[in-house]
A and B are shown apart, each in its own frame.
Chain A
Amino acid sequence: MRLPKFDYRQPESIQEACAILLDQPDAKVLAGGTDLLVNMKHRVETPSMIVSLKGLRDLDYVRKANGMVRIGALTRLKKVYNDPFVAKKLPALAAAASSVGSYHHQTMGTLGGNLCQQTRCKYFNQSKWWRSARPLCFKAGGDPCHVAKKDQVCYSTYCGDVAPALLVLNAEVVLSGREGSKQVPLESIFSGVGKTPLNLEPGQILTEIVIPEQSADGFSTYKKIANRGSIDFPIVGAAVWTSASTGESRIALTAVDRKPVRTRQLEDFLKGLELNEETIQGVDGLVAKETQLMMSSIDSISYKRKLMGQLVKSALSEAMGGR
């Protein structure tokens, strides 16, 4: 499956990359390539220009400074989970990064790229000829959503593994543009809009992930259920962070909606409650309320719903044990 034609630029600096993007609104940034190139082969993304970040060396790091863990967006997933601090103190992130795709994807894929991956749908992630059997879907440039059976909406699903882990670790991200950079909560970059899942302004590139070191103090984990033990996107993924000292918990899910979801109502419900078998049983209903499952994959909604509750409960049980 050949790639479509495009112009190619390999900027020397992030500023240059941002400038190119501003100049070419249709251009796409290429980091690891494991998501974008597949979509391009399927012709669901056909940028006129690729801005390859592979030549940039200075966005590849994991470092600690001023109570923050800062990870360059181009740090490859393998390096992230092999980092001793991440492995030891941020187990949710290590588990999530090491559960992405296969070893090859972890070798090639970057942390920033994984966060910024496209949403997925069984009607969207298909070759051009496959899609020719139906009207072009809204996300691919047409009108209908074959999932919702309505026009002008898109119910594709965000399936990244790393996002929920970083959400529960209270991560922020640095967005760089020509005008400089700003640090925003990670959650704010996910639009919840299927067609355009990222809130990035023209010319903006996610360049750094910032995790407060306090997040290393709690218990954290990421759990994933997929068809197979490797390669696959999650059917459901759940990250949980809890603090024994404050009684706080943070919970986030992936593959359950158009964006990774922090389940705040559930967190509120759990706040101050002793985590025990009984409180955990209340999880199912709340989790279901805060997500919007759609038939965008070959897995059924009812199965996903069961797994969602199951995963969160098992992560919380682990948290109880972990204290």
Chain B
Amino acid sequence: MKQAIALTVNGDVYEVLISPNQTLLEVLRDKLGLTGTKKGCDLGACGACSVLLDGEAYLSCLMLAVDAVGKEIVTIEGLSEGGDLHPIQKSFVELGGLQCGFCTPGIVMTAKAILDEEPQPTEESVKKKMAGNLCRCTGYKKVIESVMSASGRMGGKQ
């Protein structure tokens, strides 16, 4: 049975008609057209679908859309303000923390959650928290460097 729900995504409220078996990932991509969030495995094992739910890194493929009602959802599209890239995004661009870019939105969103929680993380901590975001291109070196640099760029606070 379809039901109407309201989701708050990137500060906007969307009313959508959904089935309970639709994941947040499916609704973001297929209903709201927010295709920046990627489907890499759909089984919670790659992190490509990471979004922020009330500020924390969630796997949107393992979240029912209906369970996201009342949460503040932020996707990659909501990270930059206006045309300006967020400092995390700038770091990834400048330091080459991406290649094909498919895992990048999930990685950037996880980085945001990490730095909000821990503005001055150690490299070890970033590695541990970022381990659920798989990347097959970069070998992760420049990914980690980008997060560390973003931490500095953000002045160690969010």
Contact = CB atoms under 8 A, between A and B. Distances in A.
Chains A and B share a contact (CB less than 8 Å): yes
Interface of A: 1-8, 10, 30, 33-34, 37-38, 41, 50, 52, 54, 101-105, 107-108, 228-231
Interface string B113-138: 11000000000000011111100000
A230 B132 contact: yes
13 contacts: A2-B21, A5-B19, A30-B67, A33-B62, A37-B62, A37-B64, A38-B62, A54-B67, A102-B132, A103-B132, A104-B50, A104-B57, A105-B59
B63 interface: yes
Contacts of A37: 23, 44, 62, 64
Interface string B19-33: 111110010000000
A277 to B, nearest CB: 31
Interface in B48-86: 50, 56-59, 62-64, 66-67
Contacts of A2: 21, 26
B154 interface: no
B59 A34 contact: yes
Nearest to A2: B21
A50 B57 contact: no
Nearest to B61: A37
Nearest to A52: B67
A103 B21 contact: no
A30 B20 CA distance: 13
A38 B62 CA distance: 7
Contacts of A7: 1, 20
Interface of B: 1, 19-23, 26, 42-45, 47, 50, 56-59, 62-64, 66-67, 110, 113-114, 128-133
Contact of B132 (A4, A41, A52, A105): A105
Contact of B21 (A3, A104, A107, A229): A3
A33 B64 contact: yes
Given A8-B20, A50-B20, A108 B63 contact: yes
Contacts of B20: 6-8, 50
A77 to B, nearest CB: 12
Greatest chain B CB density within 10 A among A101, A102, A107, A108 is at A102
B64 A30 contact: yes
Contacts of A108: 58-59, 62-63
Contacts of A54: 67
A102 B114 CA distance: 13
B64 A107 contact: no
B44 A104 contact: yes
Given A5-B19, A8-B66, A104-B50, A230 B58 contact: no
Contacts of B130: 103
Contacts of B47: 102, 104
Contacts of A102: 47, 131-133
Contacts of A103: 57, 110, 114, 128-132
Given A50-B20, A50-B64, A1 B131 contact: no
A-B pairs, 9 with minimum CB distance:
A102-B132, A230-B131, A8-B20, A3-B21, A103-B129, A54-B67, A104-B132, A1-B42, A37-B62
